[in-house]
Structure 1
Amino acid sequence: MVAVAPALRRLGVGILDALLPPICLTCDTPVGEQGGLCPACFSRLSFVTPPLCEVCGVPFPHDGTGLRQPEGFWCEACVAAPPAFSAARAALRYDDGAKALILPFKHRDRTELARPLARHMARAGAGLLRAADLLVPVPLHRWRLFRRRHNQAALLASELSRMSGKRFDPMLLRRVRPTKPLGELGARQREAALLGAFALARGAGPKLAGRRVLLIDDVLTSGATADACARVLLGGGAAAVAVLAAARVPDPRLERLS
């Protein structure tokens, strides 16, 4: 029976492909397998590669020579104010190519995009994923969750849990106060806006004590939300908190230097 199961799965996939031929996740061009991208759409994805900040993962400008990055490079922001999380990594630069996947996933109920995004995340954050004891998604406030119908970070965390076998707890961290969009705010304004926005669920202490937590999000922008979540998790007894996101907004100050 064990040997038969893979054959049955392959047969099922073959029947599905015959009835519903695989198409690109973003442009509907025919592709070789379900859940894939066509060459044109894949070529528009910009993956986050070194050199990057060892802490927050923001990519630095580089000349494309492929020189190995020395260890210990920190960006100016992390030197000035180190975040509570130990490290953050992301799979993609948040540009037009990444937006073609993330915006439909986030706002148009394209929940099937969680799996391919999580695959990219698993590669980008392989070390963080191996070291983690527990996956925790960045929570949505209940009213935003009601409007959106799903928490995109929780869907990504669920897929990563399935791929890695790591434990996943979508209810451990709560957003108890709604916050306005942080994109246009300065650092101090973001910190003030997030003050008291997150809290641990009742009884979370024993689940967190001594655990290495990997915080999961869809897009990492300034890192302020991840930092606020990490402080709450560390305050609840977590041994360490790292961050893994599908995409990272490059620092515009650094982008101007490239």
Structure 2
Amino acid sequence: MARAVLQTLLRAVYPPRCLSCGEMVETDFGLCGACWRDTPFVAGLTCDACGLPLPGDSDRAELCDDCLSVPRPWEQGRAALVYRDTARRLVLALKHGDRHDIARPAAEWMARQTRPVVTEGMIAVPVPLHLRRMLKRRYNQSALLGQALAGHLGLDWCADALVRAQATPSLDGKSKEERFALLAGRIAVNPRRADRIAGRPVLIVDDVMTSGATLGAAAEACLAAGASRVCVTVLARVGKDA
């Protein structure tokens, strides 16, 4: 009873607000009607390698143009949102705005799309930040998403399985070729965690996929360390119109 009274008082002082615009909503960690309608959730036929929505229907695995032209080192990939509108605002708030509260509902959205690629013994690992960027930002948004997602999917979780030993410049504005060149060999398996990767399936978690260069470098590192298979999942996939 005391807990119920406390929750009632908290709701009176801090009513639930929309994750995106701040308008009052009925439940915690939700979106108002307008922001929900403006959020491009992935549904229907999607690219089996990156999760990008595809037109039409199919009874087999299909690939988008990007994944047909750039072979992916991972087996399957999923995305919860298309990176535009409300999705873009949520990603940027999580990544640069200290909005840790977004990770919880975002992981639920990711879990719905990712569950079909989960296999027995799979371990979830986040795309790492370089130490200098980690100290500046104080948190890794991919790790926030990954830990919550692992909980939803019942997966083993290792926050420091991958390391980025060399810093890379911002990839914003870089071409696809530049992104791949900058990321080549920059991500490796943490030697202290190599036994957590070898011989088992790995799910790599990130916030956004643009060209796939970062996820590709992470997947190659896992495979080099003996992972039996690698899949990837992201909160948002950048489309051609983003």
Q: Same fold (TM over 0.5)?
A: yes
> How many angstroms does 1:46 deviate by?
0.6
**1:52 corresponds to:** 46
Does the 8 Å CA contact 2:18/2:29 hold for their aligned counterparts?
yes
**1:202 corresponds to:** 191
| 2:84 pairs with one of 56, 79, 95 | 95
> How many angstroms does 1:9 deviate by?
6.0
For 2:41, the aligned partner's letter is: F
Give the whole-Å Cα distance in 2 for the aligned partners of 1:168 and 1:191. Answer: 27
Give the whole-Å Cα distance in 2 for the aligned partners of 1:13 and 1:109. Answer: 24
Aligned residue-pair number: 242
Does the 8 Å CA contact 1:54/1:71 hold for their aligned counterparts?
no
| 1:157 pairs with one of 136, 141, 146 | 146
**1:19 corresponds to:** 13
Give the whole-Å Cα distance in 1 for the aligned partners of 2:19 and 2:235. Answer: 16
| 2:230 pairs with one of 224, 238, 241 | 241
SS at match of 2:192: coil
For 1:33, the aligned partner's letter is: T
> How many angstroms does 1:235 deviate by?
0.4
Does the 8 Å CA contact 2:103/2:145 hold for their aligned counterparts?
yes
SS at match of 2:191: coil
Q: Percent identity?
A: 38
| 2:113 pairs with one of 118, 124, 130 | 124
CA separation of 1:17/1:181 partners in 2, compared to 1, >3 Å: closer, same or farther?
A: same
**Which runs of structure 1 show a deviation greater than 6 angstroms over 4 or more consecutive aligned residues?**
none
For 1:57, the aligned partner's letter is: G
Any residues of structure 2 matched to 1:61-76 within 5 Å, and which? 62=55, 68-76=57-65
Does the 8 Å CA contact 1:50/1:69 hold for their aligned counterparts?
no
CA separation of 1:162/1:72 partners in 2, compared to 1, >3 Å: closer, same or farther?
A: closer
| Cα deviations by residue, 1:121-149 (Å, 9 ceiling, x for unpaired) | 11121212455610000001111111111
What TM-score comes out, normalization by structure 2 length?
A: 0.91
CA separation of 1:164/1:53 partners in 2, compared to 1, >3 Å: closer, same or farther?
A: closer
| Cα deviations by residue, 1:135-191 (Å, 9 ceiling, x for unpaired) | 000001111111111100000011112222211111110011111233433333222
Does the 8 Å CA contact 1:87/1:243 hold for their aligned counterparts?
yes
| 1:33 pairs with one of 14, 22, 27 | 27
| Cα deviations by residue, 1:179-226 (Å, 9 ceiling, x for unpaired) | 123343333322221122111112322211211111000111111110
**1:176 corresponds to:** 165
Does the 8 Å CA contact 1:137/1:157 hold for their aligned counterparts?
yes
Give the whole-Å Cα distance in 1 for the aligned partners of 2:78 and 2:192. Answer: 29
Larger-gyration structure (1/2): 1
For 2:182, the aligned partner's letter is: A
Give the whole-Å Cα distance in 1 for the aligned partners of 2:95 and 2:134. Answer: 11
**2:180 corresponds to:** 191
For 1:108, the aligned partner's letter is: G
Does the 8 Å CA contact 1:54/1:74 hold for their aligned counterparts?
yes
For 1:59, the aligned partner's letter is: P
**1:113 corresponds to:** 102
Which is further off, 86-95 or 125-134?
125-134
Any residues of structure 2 matched to 1:133-152 within 5 Å, and which? 133-152=122-141
Give the whole-Å Cα distance in 1 for the aligned partners of 2:99 and 2:125. Answer: 21
Give the whole-Å Cα distance in 1 for the aligned partners of 2:107 and 2:121. Answer: 16
CA separation of 1:31/1:10 partners in 2, compared to 1, >3 Å: closer, same or farther?
A: same
For 1:35, the aligned partner's letter is: F
Does the 8 Å CA contact 2:48/2:63 hold for their aligned counterparts?
yes
What TM-score comes out, normalization by structure 1 length?
A: 0.86
